[in-house]
Structure 1
Amino acid sequence: MAAIKPRYGVYTPLVTFFNDDESIDFEATLSHAKRMADSGVVGLVLQGSNGEAPHLDHDERKALVRAVRDRLNNLGYTHLQLIVGCGAASVKETVRYISEAKESGADYALVLPPAYWVAAMNASVIEGFFCDVAAISELPILIYNFPGVTGGIDISSDSIIRLAQADSKIIGCKLTCGNVGKLQRISSTLPAESFAAFGGKSDFFLPALVAGSNGIIAALANVAPKTHIELLRLWEKGDLKAAQALQSRLSHADWALSKVGIAGVKAVVSHHFGYGIGKGRRPLGVATIESLSEDIVSSIQAVVEIEKKL
């Protein structure tokens, strides 16, 4: 039976909250997951870049996925999909992460290309990696293209299309690269009923929808999930003028959020919604709302005000 692609809609790449001693703050993280679910997102991405995946060991990853799945199920959100980051430097380790994620309640695996030996990662090697992973993966796979965390590796539309056509378990991609043309080429070549190409930043949410995005997976949804859902509603309604106006707000806020780092994202959430602290695991730092510049705070505040009215 062919794997089913993720549902169309807004997905939040969930931050992982930590206590002062750098242990996982499960209470804050689960409160955050609940707020996202209550807001109407169709899924969460756990242990992606915003979730500080490289800073979590195997046991922590398993415990976090299981805790989120169980909490969502207990709240009645059994339909909410979990995409879990499983990328590693080798096929063997990646497949192990995928197996553990499935056992813990994940629906999909989000996989970065291996980036330790950047110079060796040509298109052929990268495609071979994904084919080898897909051949034995226990979960359907989304290719994660994010040059900013892979030493500049930027997977082409040609490679993504070839991989999707080669293995039915490769059912989507997240394009944090911001290349709308790449998204357009992928969405117009691969069948929409079986492949989900996602834009990966709020900064180009509306252009991504025009280019065939399956919704959005965006860090700013940690702050304003309802606002993203509203933009999607306006797009589907055909109210382009209102959608453009809201996209402008999101673009300014997303640009501001990109300057504060992961700890800053958590600080913003903590300040506006009352749980967690702005702490990343070292070498990432600590942030508070007071440590952020006024221009950053004001751009994000504008979106928070919209969020709290929805």
Structure 2
Amino acid sequence: LTSEHSNVVGIKDSGGLVSRFAELVRRVGSRLRILAGTGDMVLPALALGAHGAIVAVANVAPRLCVQLYEAFKRGDLEKARELQVKLNYLNEVVVKKYNQLSAIKAAMGLLGLRVGSPRHPYAPLGEKEVSEVFRVLKEIGLIAGRGPDLA
């Protein structure tokens, strides 16, 4: 691919399979930048030789993602593992359990960011779902308080 297209400089793998990611690193890691594309693969991908990550959950937890990357780079694998566990928990709710766009917008709104509602055909999360997103944000230390005022 790179011999035919000189402007290709990297690959983002969103497949989520460690074995496939490892094979990608083995085959093209010396020629291309390889990036993790799913939040639950950041630390495993870095350990396999990824150069970084582009993940949806970073919209909600950018500092957590940067802290994970920095912990890995300085060799603090225990801290990196701790942060990956938090990222996985958040990723399960805002990327996998509910509509990703709606859940990310809900989470960002709960964090005080004015992002508006999802556009058609997507709908905002319901009260129950927003409460769950809040609970997860609180459990991983991204937000404080008693919960969203949904009245």
Q: TM-score, normalised by structure 1?
A: 0.42
Structure 2 spans left out of the alignment, 5+ residues: 144-151
Structure 1 spans left out of the alignment, 5+ residues: 1-162
- SS of residue matched to 2:9: strand
Judging changes above 3 Å, is the alpha-carbon distance between structure 1 residues 202 and 191 closer, same or farther for their aligned structure 2 residues?
closer
Which residue is 1:199 aligned to? 36
State yes or no: 1:253 paired with 2:90: yes
- SS of residue matched to 1:170: coil
Answer yes or no: is the 8 Å Cα contact 1:209–1:215 preserved in 2: yes
State yes or no: 1:273 paired with 2:115: no
- SS of residue matched to 1:173: strand
Judging changes above 3 Å, is the alpha-carbon distance between structure 1 residues 214 and 246 closer, same or farther for their aligned structure 2 residues?
same
Cα distance in 2 for residues equivalent to 1:165 and 1:221: 32
Answer yes or no: is the 8 Å Cα contact 1:188–1:212 preserved in 2: no
Show CA shifts across 1:169-212 (max 9, x none): 222111111122222222222254x4111111111110010111
Matches within 5 A, 1:1-310: 163-192=1-30, 194-258=31-95, 259-261=97-99, 262-277=101-116, 279-287=117-125, 290-292=127-129, 294-305=131-142
- CA-based RMSD of the aligned residues comes to 2.1
Cα distance in 2 for residues equivalent to 1:293 and 1:274: 15
Cα distance in 2 for residues equivalent to 1:180 and 1:164: 23
| Residues paired across the two proteins, number | 141
Judging changes above 3 Å, is the alpha-carbon distance between structure 1 residues 233 and 199 closer, same or farther for their aligned structure 2 residues?
same
Over the matched positions of the two proteins, sequence identity in percent amounts to 26
Q: TM-score, normalised by structure 2?
A: 0.81
1:294 Cα shift?
4.5
Judging changes above 3 Å, is the alpha-carbon distance between structure 1 residues 217 and 276 closer, same or farther for their aligned structure 2 residues?
same
Answer yes or no: is the 8 Å Cα contact 2:106–2:130 preserved in 1: no
Answer yes or no: is the 8 Å Cα contact 1:201–1:217 preserved in 2: yes
